[in-house]
Amino acid sequence: MRLNKYLADCGVASRRACDKLIAEGRVAVNGKIVDQMGVVVNPDNDHVTVNGKRVAVKHKTYYILLHKPKGYVTTVSDELGRRTVMDLIDIKTRLYPVGRLDYDTEGALILTNDGDVANKLTHPKNQVSKVYVCRISGEITNAEVAKLERGVEIDGKLTLPAGVKVLESDVHHSRVELTIREGRNRQVRRMFEAIGKDVEFLKRVAVGEIRLGGLSRGKYRFLNEKEIAYLKSLK
């Protein structure tokens, strides 16, 4: 790689500005000052400094929203040979799914190689909201809605208060939007089980301010600057 491009990739300055730094004798490769254009360096082996300080290529970070379909596990690999969400991502950089969606659940899943952001999203203190649209068996009553809103007992501990919005309901099925701020194992399904309802379909439509929108099943998109800024703003 040409030295000026390497310096630019390291975030030192633009290529033209890097040419000027080189011409001024402010760049050294393996301890030797370089003041000629066109020098080629090996990013993996050469030691490059600017004004005596070593520079290196910045780690490129990716922030991706995937519409996870049913039938995929939310792991990087699976010992049982099942399809994983990574099979849907055509990016060479190693990414990691943030949190989990069950095998039979679809919807919004964030993947990144930014460990700090991943930790912010999953740390219990931040209580990042997750919004689900659920189709459940039977009609849901006002009393059952109130119970979900207050919190139901799972493994001997009450869930945090939830947001519940009934989208439609009849004697056969109900569609409910459920907003939770924690991430216990199979939590949404178990919350409905606690009020005697079976979940027939479950889709996560938002993680915090990141919304799934019209993204098709199995497809992904890069988060925009506003969405990335939101993730980084989490404490």
User: Which position among 19, 102, 114, 155 bears the catalytic label?
Assistant: 102
What are the phi and psi torsion angles at 156 (to 5°)?
A: 80, 10
How far the first Cα of the chain sits from its last, in Å, is 38
Candidates 233, 235, 219, 225; CA nearest to 63 is: 225
- Using an 8 Å Cβ cutoff, are 101 and 111 in contact? no
Structure token pair of residue 212? 């799934």
Tokens 């969405």 correspond to 227
Q: Interior CA angle at 204 toward 203 and 206, to 5°? A: 150
Does residue 102 carry a catalytic annotation?
yes
Q: Which residues have a catalytic role annotated?
A: 102
